[in-house]
Structure 1
């Protein structure tokens, strides 16, 4: 039994150190950032000063209560009138300090949240980490929720709990001294000897709070794990709804409503099942905390009542002791009163630290970083594999000069699309060297184009800023048989849902003409086009981009006339250039 307790103690100690290390890793960069440290620390000092002012005002109010009840007990009307005026000062200062403390805390909160959100967004978007993360890290679920919601909760709860803890410490020190002084010593006979306990009400408050904290921890510990899973299940359910909305046309065509409903009901079932467990644990904890809080109001009054009836203390001192006991007990019981907040805070720290660890891991992963030099595209791939290690390509080299056009062919599943992603520098399981022409950018066109939120004009120029050359744009729209979209260029809409896949592919191909690249990589970018439109657009690409190096993935030989080189997969892992 003793060994079990020792093991649990060591485990809890390690978990606490791990939690604090994760918290420090998340918050430290903000507080040492020289760009705004003066603003952050200035606001923190200001909030702490106001918090200290609130503690002083609470002590002043304690003294005021004692004087008021003494004046009432002695029927001193003159003193009563002065105390009413004094209360106006205490009340006014308390209101001002409380309002501005909250205001400056929220100001610090939004500054911190803005910084942390930008930091995580930059890490997530830098060098396609968002793409690598979903391939390599299966612990990080729903990055969108981590950035949008967990950051907000992390900042608000960290600040709130930190400031409330410091306030509790200040209150504990201030009112412990007052309680010690007011309660005086307790003299009793124990075993024939006189026992004197100085400041006995302080010790009673301490023992009361310690016992309450231990019981609260025992009852509420499962809340930490349940809160973690609740956030995960909520995010999974929301992601399922978003995914259904984004693929509404495909689901409707398949008439897949029954299966989608089953999936969503299952995910919502996880939300409900976990929430029921949360409710039960919160109910048990709520019963205990409420009972504990109510008892703490009556407890000091009962303990001190004999001294009042014995006329050892005045009514004013009695009220002061009861208030001071409540302040000390409340400060010592901070963990009890905020246990649910601490549990939620830990789950948020765990989720954000998992996300940060995933970002740190993909940031140091080997990358097939292209070099930009010369006029040719040099490829020397030692290996390209699947995430499970299966080799798709090994020891393949080739060189493409300005104006060369390479077509990649092979059976489905041989790794053509993966090879294109490796050439684009985003596939994390590729090893070798890439060299691109020094002049010009690299443009990648996928089978299902990406159309960003915004206007159609912005979608056509993506990822470059849009230009307002309507005459040139009208000519290209007519070339792609998209002239009917001319009046809607500056209309904001869900274009990925409005346009057919063929129209989306034509919009994407026009990007290459609007923003001429040095290297154009296409992964079945014309698969949804009829042969006549496909021929027209490829002819336009060849005519308008004579020096562009093109690499295309295709299944058949329809695109063979537009390419002067072919890379074929002759067997699994074996490729041949002709």
Structure 2
């Protein structure tokens, strides 16, 4: 709690051992201060303008990130472990503070995150699809159960409704559903909420390529712009740009051409 209070007050100092043989550990001060950046809310655009990628423990992953993505332009995000992919999305999702620059993005409700291992909530089958909405929220959205069933069909989960004996069935969904079924439930949530942007974090790893292709196609039809973290070559064709973080503080944001070589190879 003391460290968090210090961070909120702009006091940001970290002890770092630079050499094991060095007699004394050296203190490294980070020039960036949490909360010093500017957040601008605007629909149909995500723009990083001189935004550093800094972790809460003081690691500067990228000193200055500059790129702009408008609705309709899918981006494939790639790079080795620890290069900053998750940090980028934590900043985008407002889980981590800005340490400088200006971030332009839609408000939270228009930005949806789909993880590799989706959370299955305690409750009914309906609750799994509409999460984090309640039944009252579903009514407010004027989404009928027949439309929910259609969404399940779109992610090839139509059989679940019969197997589990209806929307009001309550199960331990983490155990009842297979890995692929849980990932497709997460995609059904995406189609239900229909945000402007979605971050897909290796979230189709247990899904067949034909289902995966349909998911990307249907996302376009709904007007959902995607940021995808994945190593599958089959996904390149569903994206217009790639953002490659090399893990050494550098990055590349470029259009995907027919002759684009494998990232990081």
Q: TM-score range by the shorter chain?
A: 0.7 to 0.9
Shift of 1:570: 3.4
User: 1:461 aligned to 104, 107, 130, which one?
Assistant: 130
- SS across alignment from 1:560: helix
How do residues 61-210 of structure 1 correspond to structure 2 at under 5 angstroms?
A: none
**In the alignment, is residue 498 of structure 1 matched against residue 167 of structure 2?**
no
User: 2:211 aligned to 533, 541, 548, which one?
Assistant: 533
User: 1:472 aligned to 147, 153, 157, which one?
Assistant: 147
TM-score scaled to structure 2, two decimals? Answer: 0.73
User: 1:423 aligned to 89, 92, 103, which one?
Assistant: 92
Q: Which residue of 2 aligns with 1:508?
A: 186
Deviations 1:30-60 (A, max 9, x none): xxxxxxxxxxxxxxxxxxxxxxxxxxxxxxx
* Alpha-carbon distance change, 573 to 516 in structure 1, aligned in 2, over 3 angstroms: same
Q: Which residue of 2 aligns with 1:172?
A: none
Gap runs ≥5 in structure 1: 1-136, 138-356
Deviations 1:529-566 (A, max 9, x none): 12111111111111122xx3321111232211111111
User: 1:555 aligned to 212, 223, 231, which one?
Assistant: 231
Distance 1:364 1:479 in 2: 49
Distance 1:498 1:424 in 2: 30
Gap runs ≥5 in structure 2: 11-33, 255-265
Distance 2:146 2:125 in 1: 16
Q: CA RMSD in A?
A: 2.6
Distance 1:375 1:502 in 2: 30
Q: Is the 8 A contact 2:84 2:247 kept in 1?
A: no
Q: Which residue of 1 aligns with 2:157?
A: 482
Q: Which residue of 2 aligns with 1:399?
A: 68
* Alpha-carbon distance change, 374 to 418 in structure 1, aligned in 2, over 3 angstroms: closer
* Alpha-carbon distance change, 358 to 410 in structure 1, aligned in 2, over 3 angstroms: closer
Q: Is the 8 A contact 1:386 1:429 kept in 2?
A: no
* Alpha-carbon distance change, 493 to 555 in structure 1, aligned in 2, over 3 angstroms: same
Look at both structures and tell me which one has the larger radius of gyration over its CA atoms: 1
Q: Is the 8 A contact 1:460 1:511 kept in 2?
A: yes
Q: Is the 8 A contact 1:417 1:553 kept in 2?
A: no
Q: Is the 8 A contact 1:383 1:395 kept in 2?
A: yes
Q: Is the 8 A contact 1:522 1:553 kept in 2?
A: yes
**Relative contact order, higher structure (CA 8 A, sep 6+):** 2
Q: Which residue of 1 aligns with 2:49?
A: 380
- SS across alignment from 1:449: coil
Distance 2:43 2:97 in 1: 25
Deviations 1:377-430 (A, max 9, x none): 211253213344332222111111121111101123322122222221212475
Q: Which residue of 2 aligns with 1:75?
A: none
* Alpha-carbon distance change, 550 to 453 in structure 1, aligned in 2, over 3 angstroms: same
Q: Which residue of 2 aligns with 1:390?
A: 59
Q: Which residue of 2 aligns with 1:161?
A: none
Deviations 1:319-339 (A, max 9, x none): xxxxxxxxxxxxxxxxxxxxx
Q: Is the 8 A contact 2:71 2:197 kept in 1?
A: no
Shift of 1:360: 5.6
Distance 1:556 1:529 in 2: 12
Q: Is the 8 A contact 1:410 1:569 kept in 2?
A: yes
Shift of 1:489: 2.3
TM-score scaled to structure 1, two decimals? Answer: 0.35
How do residues 273-352 of structure 1 correspond to structure 2 at under 5 angstroms?
A: none
Distance 1:374 1:536 in 2: 26
Q: Which residue of 1 aligns with 2:77?
A: 408
Q: Which residue of 2 aligns with 1:36?
A: none
* Alpha-carbon distance change, 360 to 484 in structure 1, aligned in 2, over 3 angstroms: farther
Structure with the higher helix share, 1 or 2: 1
